A and B are shown apart, each in its own frame.
Chain A
């Protein structure tokens, strides 16, 4: 991957312009001047500027990921804001929201400022999510108001579900005046117990402790009900079970402040893939059975699930090259995301490319209140160019994260990112 400053003028020539907002797809050129879109469509231009011939490529809004772990501060051996940015660019992402489960936990305005300041130099837009409760202890709500003032985009104790229903209720109520979503990693600690994978015949065969679907779906149900009585914004992260999809679908009929995301890995794998005890498939919530996987896909098609989020979770080798019970939860996901979801949702499941792109662009931006009308004259160039038809094999050299914990090596993916343009930088992948 090569990242360099955008030239003063750059013409992206002969490209398919896919506008996910206006649902249009037409051939044309895009002229960037000083990092902004100066012209788009069919127009005259002088030949003496830098031109990239983009024949065969599709141009659209840069992708936006609501759920990444960049491990900075505290675990810089796994990822930093800089290395995470590179991984994002390689995956076509120009904007990400970072989870606060770092060391220290991002639970005060000072720490929010640290992320904001440090990410100014990064080639992508990074928005910190603050912790809902102090030190993610699930007891006292944190200084959400002060954090919002200095740039917190949402609040979450991701990784540690908020067990206490009253705390969750108070947090939702409080967040109403801030008009930001609360994101609760929904898993009932008592029900999931020592579960390390989905509970079912596969966990029985492997002798591994199962984490049942109801550990997620009952807490999702609780959160939906709490969101309903409080009127707050609730975003349900990494939905993994069929029952959660049903619950969210029902609640969405009467409440438009509820949103949900799904990860590429929950769409790609099912628990049979764990038969080899591959620790890179140990994630929270766990990879479920194929019935749940199909329900997630249906949830996307029906609009129950609003967006794709990677839950990019870097871990050191030693945390994964161990026995299954000792291995850490999580996998990296930025670099492989598009190739996975294009393959599963478009190639296999018949979703249109425009609808897929929406799940990665307009939808997540709407949830967080970001500008989602980007393909317009005068807008800062936040763009991705991909070859939607290229089949490729995911390999270690496609990874730019500091960590390499991915189960996708050797998998055939479809659709490859070629260029990402963000914050005045041009990256050639």
Chain B
């Protein structure tokens, strides 16, 4: 079982637990390849998917993982607009608590929101992305995908490319990869990479060609179109020219570079069409591993409840 009752972040998360989650995920991955993809592991367990922010793939991935484990699932989505000042977060939390559920999977636009939820309720809380803080299950599935591809994580050179400052995927990947012994280099416009981030045990390089040359795999982050034209990124074409993962760039490398992307992609901006659809991209494997990783996490956090 896992040391922490919740999965809120990968910062300071025990290495053994990350290993355990990934190993278990591979066994669930086998389940997903069977004709009947359902196991009774979480029968009688109720999970609420509480999504305060739009999400397609993460929500579906969690929901599928819950259904494959035979858990009862309830979805609650609240539009972002109702989250303005005045709505009581505490009221929402206590309403959920009153309904006697076992776990909450939470996506929220505010960093720390899942942590706040644990202050108000007893149920297990799984962070499905909290603002620009962390997205631990994404990092788990990314690491699982690296493990699947390379057979190991320790010693791998991994580049993370894009808007690091506003990326929960980047933060969770940094913590997870550093804990597992990978070498991490961040790449992107300097005004989207805080200088102090080197304290997390990573390197920063603004030259994408050097990073592509160095890396075994790169995780290409979605560049938010909202960042364009407000003084952070001058234009899409400038971003593509300086930081886009293009066919031409990859061609300069001798051997194949593994390409990851957490989705959804801006094709033609941070990643070229042909790169995204190429064999070296493991983007769809990531999606499948996402279901297996989330099954593993749900099982390890909630599996013992059923017996107790």
A residues touching B (Cβ–Cβ < 8 Å)?
Answer: 199-201, 204-210, 276-277, 318, 321-326
Contacts and interface: CB of A to CB of B under 8 A. Distances in A.
B47 to A, nearest CB: 22
B11 A205 contact: yes
A318 B88 contact: yes
10 contacts: A199-B194, A205-B200, A206-B112, A207-B130, A277-B112, A318-B90, A322-B90, A323-B113, A326-B85, A326-B110
Top 10 nearest A-B pairs (CB, nearest first) are A207-B133, A277-B112, A323-B110, A207-B111, A207-B132, A201-B196, A322-B89, A321-B90, A323-B113, A325-B110
Contacts of A200: 196
A205 B112 CA distance: 11
A84 B162 CA distance: 50
Contacts of B111: 206-208, 277, 324-325
A323 B196 CA distance: 25
B115 interface: yes
B130 A322 contact: no
A210 B197 CA distance: 13
Contact of A207 (B83, B90, B171): B171
B89 to A, nearest CB: 4
Contacts of A204: 165, 194, 196-197, 200
Given A205-B200, A207-B133, A324 B112 contact: yes
Contacts of B53: none
A277 B168 contact: no
Contact of B89 (A199, A210, A276, A323): A323
B112 A323 contact: yes
B43 interface: no
B168 A207 contact: yes
Interface in B42-89: 83-85, 87-89
Interface string B196-208: 1101100000000
B50 to A, nearest CB: 13
Contacts of A207: 111-112, 130-134, 168, 171
Nearest to B115: A277
B222 interface: no
Contacts of A206: 111-112, 133
Contact of B88 (A208, A209, A322, A325): A322
Q: Which of B115, B116, B130, B200 has the most CB of A within 10 A?
A: B116
Contacts of B89: 321-323, 326
B116 A323 contact: yes
A200 B196 CA distance: 7
Interface string B109-148: 1111101100000000000001111100000000000000
Q: Which of B84, B196, B200 has the most CB of A within 10 A?
A: B196
B108 interface: yes
Interface string B274-292: 0000000000000000000
Contacts of B131: 207, 325
A109 B130 CA distance: 48
Contacts of B84: 326
Nearest to A324: B112
A201 B199 contact: yes
A200 B171 CA distance: 15
A322 B132 CA distance: 17
Contacts of A210: 194
A326 B91 CA distance: 14
Contacts of B110: 323-326
A324 B117 CA distance: 12
A205 B133 CA distance: 7
A200 B110 CA distance: 18
Contacts of B109: 325
Contact of A276 (B108, B115, B197): B115
Nearest to B90: A321
Nearest to B132: A207
Given A208-B111, A208-B132, A322-B88, 7 more contacts: A205-B171, A207-B112, A207-B130, A207-B171, A323-B112, A326-B89, A326-B110
A141 B199 CA distance: 46
A428 B166 CA distance: 52
A324 B168 CA distance: 16
Contacts of A277: 111-112, 115-116
Interface string B90-116: 100000000000000000111111011
Query: Of B112, B113, B168, which is in contact with the most chain A CB atoms at under 10 Å from its CB?
Result: B112
A188 B291 CA distance: 46
B164 to A, nearest CB: 9
Nearest to B131: A207
Contacts of A208: 111-112, 132-133
A324 B90 CA distance: 12
Q: By CB atoms of chain B within 10 A, which of A201, A322, A324 has the most?
A: A322
A204 B134 CA distance: 11
Contacts of B88: 318, 321-322
B268 to A, nearest CB: 28
A208 B111 CA distance: 6
A200 B197 CA distance: 9
A370 B85 CA distance: 40
Contacts of B112: 206-208, 277, 323-324
A321 B90 CA distance: 6
Contacts of A276: 115
